[in-house]
Amino acid sequence: MGWVLVVMALVLGLPGAAMACDNAEFLRITEEQKKLAARNAWTGVERAYGNLIGTRCELQFEQHFLGAESARQLGKTWEQFERLTQAHALRPEPSVLDSLAAIEEAYGRVDIQGDPRRRPELTRPEMPFAPDERKGIEWAQTVMSETGSFYGMLPAGKYLVGPLEFTVVAGQPFEVIAVGNASKVGTNTASLLRYLAPVISIGPAFLGTPQTNRVTTLADGGHQFSPDGVFLSGFSAQVGAEAGFTYSEPALGVAATLGYRGGFGVDVFHGVNLWVAAVARPGNLRVALGPQYQVVAGRGTGVADWFDRGQDPTTDRNGDIRYAGLAWGPGVQGSVGYGLLDFDALQGVVELGGSWHSDGARSYFGFGLRVGIVPTVPRFEG
């Protein structure tokens, strides 16, 4: 089981793991950020700034300053203001202080709280002439259309959000504008489904069923066949679909899969299951849990030590008696996975899964490590 713990630590990130500054990656991304800025590739500069934060290294004046400039070019005024503030704390440049003062004189802070399913439309009757201010409004409109809410800065002036009119005053603290479901006028209704895509996975697995102490007697007075305890290695596979229904975080949905789990050795077991699970998708994590119904076909050698049909124990030892049969029943299955690769609408994942079911007389357990694809949760990267 040691290798399983190692995989879990690497994939899921145990507390305290990967907390140190990745200095080599920090230096690489810093150079990349400078080169992108020299080419005026501001979307790339913005992405590099986020990656620099991900290295867990302490950012310097230059990284914050370039991050502020990329935010300005994209219309993200609040992010520009925050990064300029961080840059000024490291090096009190007069030009940075002037930029902060200019933003305070022209922009106000707003917290527009809308509904992600009925996204209110943000409009301004008279658009400003200044290019940076126009970009700021356009960025806020993009965020509203994607998420239904906006937290940031807008140029001073009058606006409409859905049916509500409000005025932004320069230099004011955050003003909350609660839109909610006040009206369908001026809104974009989101689809009932946030996403819908296939789920496919495969990987090594283990299954087992301990010997039951429940003795079943047939009409002829003899005992029903019951295998001894079994533990087998093999593989499992699943195919199905997952649908997401919520626009809040974490994303919530439902998955339905048809699965197979096989174990091979002296004994051979084949299990087929139908699994319906509730799914939570916080970030790149995927957690699924729900009921299953499983049918198992097994054959092998060795029956329960209590099995007795009048056989001679010296010539027909219980450990040498062959058995074969079917078992079925309800149970539960769960998995925890982490997305490692993105393929547009699909995401490559590695996951640990486990299951249990009972046929009324004995329990059956399964667990294993799988890789596969699941739906990518569409998220607005603001």
Q: What is the pLDDT of residue 222?
A: 65
Structure tokens that stand for 299 in this block = 């054959």
Q: What is the pLDDT of residue 13?
A: 46
DSSP output for 219-255: TTSSBPP-B--EEEEEEEEEEEEEEE--SSSSEEEEE
Strand, helix or coil for residue 331: strand
Candidates 2.40.160.20, 1.10.510.10, 2.30.40.10, 2.40.50.140; correct CATH number of 195-375? 2.40.160.20
Sheet containing strand 122-123, strands side by side? 122-123, 157-161, 164-168
Name residue 161's amino acid: V
Question: Residue 334, Cβ neighbours under 10 Å: how many?
Answer: 18
For residue 16, count CB atoms less than 10 angstroms from its CB and return exposed for 0-12, middle for 13-18, buried for 19 or more: exposed
Task: For residue 320, count other CB atoms closer than 10 A to its CB.
Answer: 10
- On whether the CB atoms of residues 238 and 276 are closer than 8 A, the answer is no
Beta bridge partners of 269: 263, 298
Residue 188 confidence (pLDDT): 58
Report the alpha-carbon distance of residue 49 to residue 381 in Å, rounded: 13
- pLDDT attached to residue 235: 96
* Total-model pTM: 0.64
Cβ contact 300:335 at 8 Å = no
**How many Å apart are CA 49 and CA 312, to the nearest integer?**
78
pLDDT at 378: 85
DSSP assignment, residue 59?
P
Dihedral of the alpha carbons of 165, 171, 176, 178, in degrees to the nearest 10: 20
Instruction: Confirm if 271 and 326 have CB atoms less than 8 A apart.
Output: no
Q: Are 333 and 293 in contact (CB under 8 A)?
A: no
Under 8 Å between Cβ of 209 and 263 = no
Q: Are 150 and 79 in contact (CB under 8 A)?
A: no
Is residue 37 a contact partner of residue 49, using CB atoms and an 8 Å limit? no
pLDDT attached to residue 325: 87
Beta strands 107-113 and 122-123 are unpaired
- Given this model, what pLDDT does residue 320 score? 77
Instruction: With a cut of 50, list the residues of the chain below it in pLDDT.
Output: 1-18, 182-185
DSSP class per residue in 71-110: HHHHT-HHHHHHHHHHHHHHS--HHHHHHHHHHHHHEEEE
**Structural domain boundaries of the chain?**
19-92, 108-189, 195-375
Neighbouring CB atoms inside 10 A of 124's CB total: 18
Check: CB of residue 76 under 8 Å from CB of residue 103. Answer: no
Encode pLDDT of 251-295 as tens digits: 999 999 999 999 998 899 999 999 999 999 999 999 999 999 999
| CB neighbourhood size of 309 (10 A) | 14
